[in-house]
């Protein structure tokens, strides 16, 4: 197939854009937070076709669109609270930008990577749609209780629990033993490294389930968050680990004893 110089140049530009976006570090920005004028907190949103990025923080909003061909840098206005999120409206002599951020999980249309916010940018008469926030905020905070492994429910009375820590470590229980592993989240994938468990033995079915879980964990390459907050870890061979957040323990206040 003959490739014209124009098509080749476009492909090179898109590939360079995708690599640059993927190389960007994840920002510590999750549900409920917002960048405000004068703050150092950062929020990044990304979108595709055409590729664009939006960075909010440091008293500025910076939009880069059309794979880098279009740029706008405006002062960061105060956020206006709206139902389910917030909105920024900035107008200068050169540009008018309205950014709407909803606290609703959004999956990147190219990589499938989930992010905690759905973002829409109205820019000089155009509408750009994408996702924003730090994907790791969807994993961290609390304990995930595994419900099924490879499409099969867990053995009765067994427990597999996963905790994603801020230091890039995973800890938890794997049916019989405590385990730990490392994890790395990039712009395109989630990988788990070196899952290891203690050596205590238990009933053979529990040991087999633990081995299957640790093997599946080694093969994880991406994740998704369902509408009800269900976490699905996908493996390279098509397997899944499905989990839900552990319900927080509610401590009921004790009533003072009645005097006799």
Q: Which of 131, 157, 178 is the last residue of a domain?
A: 131
Percent of the chain having pLDDT more than 90?
71
> pLDDT by residue (tens digit) across 164-188?
999 999 999 999 999 999 999 987 8
Show which of 91, 110, 131 is a domain's final residue.
131
- In the predicted structure, residue 10 carries a pLDDT above the cut 90: no
| Whole-angstrom distance, CA of residue 126 vs CA of residue 170 | 42
The mean per-residue pLDDT over the stretch 216-231 comes to: 94
Distance separating alpha carbons of residues 15 and 190, to the nearest angstrom: 21
Of 105-109, 128-132, 220-224, 255-259, give the lowest mean pLDDT range. Answer: 255-259
CA atoms within 13 A on the CB side of 46: 29
More confident residue, 249 or 22: 249
Q: What is the CATH number of the domain that holds 204?
A: 2.40.128.270
Higher pLDDT, 31 or 218: 218
Strand-pairing partners, residue 45, are 54, 132
* 252 in any annotated domain: no
Higher pLDDT, 32 or 151: 151
The reply to whether 259 falls in a domain is no
Alpha carbon of 208 to those of 67, 75, 164, 212: distances in Å?
49, 58, 24, 6
Q: What share of the chain is helix, strand, coil (3-state, %, to 5)?
A: 15, 45, 40
| Entry pTM | 0.78
Last residue of one domain, picked from the residues 76, 102, 131: 131
Task: Identify whether residues 119 and 39 lie together within a single domain.
Answer: yes
**Domain extent at residue 148:** 139-245
């Amino acid at each position: 197939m003959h490739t014209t110089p124009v098509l080749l140049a476009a492909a090179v530009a898109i590939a360079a854009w995708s690599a640059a976006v993927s190389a960007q570090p994840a920002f510590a920005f999750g549900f409920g937070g917002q960048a405000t004028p004068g703050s150092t907190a950062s929020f990044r949103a990304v979108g595709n076709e055409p590729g664009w990025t939006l960075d909010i923080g440091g008293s500025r909003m910076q939009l880069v669109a059309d794979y880098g061909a279009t740029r706008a840098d405006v002062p960061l206005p105060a956020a206006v609270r709206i139902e389910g999120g917030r909105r920024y409206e900035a107008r200068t002599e050169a540009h008018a930008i309205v950014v709407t951020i909803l606290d609703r999980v959004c999956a990147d249309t190219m990589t499938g990577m989930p992010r905690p916010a759905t973002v829409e940018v109205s820019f000089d008469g155009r509408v750009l749609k994408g996702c924003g926030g730090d994907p790791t905020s969807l994993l961290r905070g609390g304990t995930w209780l595994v419900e099924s492994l490879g499409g099969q429910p867990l053995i009765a009375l067994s427990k597999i629990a996963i905790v994603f820590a801020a230091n890039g470590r995973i800890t938890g229980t794997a049916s019989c033993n405590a385990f730990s592993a490392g994890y790395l989240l990039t712009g395109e994938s989630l990988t788990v490294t070196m899952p290891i468990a203690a050596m205590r033995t238990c009933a053979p079915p529990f040991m087999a389930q633990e081995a299957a879980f640790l093997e599946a964990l080694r093969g994880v390459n991406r994740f998704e968050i369902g509408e009800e907050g269900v976490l699905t870890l996908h493996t390279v061979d098509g397997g899944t680990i499905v989990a839900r957040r552990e319900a927080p323990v509610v401590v009921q206040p004790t009533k003072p004893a009645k005097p006799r």
